[in-house]
């Protein structure tokens, strides 16, 4: 019997949303499955803002959070449960307004 060794690696993905365009937060590598444990969004100003989070799988884009409001000068945890991201899928974040939000995701990557 052959046992394949699985490798676990804890990482975080960070992005400062300096534009109001879609920005890649994380891309799951080929041969990897990722478990996103947390997505924190911090508002840097005294003005509330909103964020959209999507996951792209092949040619399909799925909205995870559409217009999630982030209160002024606060930090919000978007996930209430872990999110599984499969090989080659991409997490993208888009701010309504540039230069107001930072995003940090805590991720466990597993490879065989």
Reported pTM: 0.92
Query: How far apart are the C-alpha atoms of 111 and 39, rounded to whole Å?
Result: 21
Contact of 56 with 93, CB cutoff 8 Å: no
Rounded CA separation 69/78 (Å): 10
3-state secondary structure of 77: strand
What's the pLDDT at 3?
59
Overall fold of domain 7-111 = Jelly Rolls (2.60.120)
Cβ(67)–Cβ(50) below 8 Å: yes
Enumerate the domain spans of the chain.
7-111
Band of residue 2 on the pLDDT scale cut at 50, 70, 90: low
Residue 84 CA to its chain's centroid (Å): 11
Residue carrying structure tokens 């940090």? 104
Query: pLDDT-derived band of residue 4, with 50, 70 and 90 as boundaries?
Result: low
The better pLDDT of the pair 8, 3 is held by 8
pLDDT score of 6:
81
Q: What is the pLDDT of residues 34-91, one digit of tens each?
A: 999 999 999 999 999 999 999 999 999 999 999 999 999 999 999 999 999 999 999 9
Q: Express each pLDDT in 5-36 by its tens digit.
A: 789 999 999 999 999 999 999 999 999 999 99
Question: 3 near 101, Cβ under 8 Å?
Answer: no
What tokens were used for 99?
């230069």
């Amino acid at each position: 019997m052959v046992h394949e060794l699985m490798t676990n690696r804890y990482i975080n993905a960070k992005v400062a949303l300096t534009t109001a365009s879609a920005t890649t937060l994380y891309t799951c590598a080929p041969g990897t499955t990722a478990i996103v444990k947390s997505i924190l969004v911090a508002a840097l100003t005294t003005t509330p803002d909103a964020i959209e989070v999507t996951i792209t799988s092949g040619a399909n884009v799925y909205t995870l959070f559409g217009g999630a409001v982030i209160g002024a000068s606060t930090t919000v945890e978007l996930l209430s449960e872990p999110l599984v991201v499969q090989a080659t899928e991409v997490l993208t974040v888009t701010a309504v307004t540039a230069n107001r939000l930072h995003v940090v995701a805590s991720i466990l990557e597993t490879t065989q």
